[in-house]
Amino acid sequence: MIVCRTKQEVFSLINESNRLNQALGLVPTMGSLHRGHLSLISEALQHNDIVWVTIFVNPTQFNNKEDLTNYPKNLENDLKLIKKISNSINVFHPSETEIYDGKPFLKKYDFNRLDLELEGKFRADHFNGVATIVAKLFKLFKPSNAYFGEKDYQQTQIINRLIDLEKIDLKVIICPTIREENGLALSSRNKLLSIKNKNKSSIIYKNLVFLQKSFNKNRNKLNLEKIKSEINFVDDFKIEYLEIVNNKSLQIELKFKENESYRAFICVNVNGVRLIDNILLN
């Protein structure tokens, strides 16, 4: 396993794999890896000649300083977990200076309103920050395939739009959400939950599955308010949003159409830890 800290080191290794015409799979992460990240890496290993995992806590996508400071970090363990999958994976773990030359900078994109819905309403400029770093990584690595989790579905749609805007030629692969046994979607931030609240978080996925069933029974008879109050009733739990939107535009529609797909998105704030999840309804 090679761990690079500079773009220069990456360049020289990538030149070599370009020369050999190898398919490169990229898995961008912020570290503190869990089984969700590892599933992306395993998927990338199956379909590429060479896999790069990037570990970088990107400051420009945090709209909240405290969230950035508290974000869990554990490089040593991350490297151990990656090595366990395969010794042939390369890791890029740059410093902030290496990426932003000492002045973190956020590029503003026109995402056709995709960035203003759901997470965008609660995290101003979050998706511009994500796009800024991901575009930098895409330009550096020129991957054939890039791997992202369905858990951050809104993010995957932003990335799809980003590659159109930046005219980057690659395939975005969306991998299924990996969950705890109780249904809670794995997230690095789950480490910040108390055991009690982690157990109680099963209510989130349980309700998403319930919503999926209800939608397929009768999509015009859904009661989102009832689900919201059930979750808000749990001590320490506060719903930020629960919305059903068009799976492509991510916009709320006044009336569901027969031949369109819809997805439910939820964010529950548990003592300052934001738990997000989503489910495809049809």
By CB under 6 A, name the one of 17, 90, 145, 187 that touches ligand AMP: 187
Distance (Å, whole) CA 51 – CA 43 = 10
123 lines the binding site for ligand AMP (CB under 6 A): no
Min. distance of Cβ 110 from ligand AMP in angstroms? Answer: 22
Tell how strand 171-175 and strand 50-55 pair up. Answer: unpaired
SS3 18: helix
By CB under 6 A, name the one of 14, 79, 140, 186 that touches ligand AMP: 186
By CB under 6 A, name the one of 137, 175, 231, 266 that touches ligand AMP: 175
Separation in Å, CA 12 to CA 20, 25, 141: 13, 17, 11
Residue 37 appears among annotated catalytic residues: yes
Distance (Å, whole) CA 120 – CA 18 = 37
Residue of 176, 145, 138 lying closest to 44 (CA atoms): 145
Residue indicated by tokens 């909240």: 64
**Catalytic choice (34, 37, 93, 126):** 37
Contact criterion met (CB below 8 Å) for 277 and 182: no
Per-residue contact track with ligand AMP, 146 to 165, x per CB under 6 A?
Answer: --xx-xx-------------
By CB under 6 A, name the one of 4, 10, 29, 78 that touches ligand AMP: 29
Contact criterion met (CB below 8 Å) for 151 and 190: no
Of 85-93, 117-125, 177-185, 271-279: span binding ligand AMP (CB under 6 A): 177-185
For residue 165, the surrounding DSSP H or E stretch is: helix 153-165
Min. distance of Cβ 154 from ligand AMP in angstroms? Answer: 10
By CB under 6 A, name the one of 24, 37, 56, 82 that touches ligand AMP: 37
Active site residues: 37
Binding site for ligand AMP (CB under 6 A): 29-30, 36-37, 39-40, 148-149, 151-152, 175, 177-178, 185-188
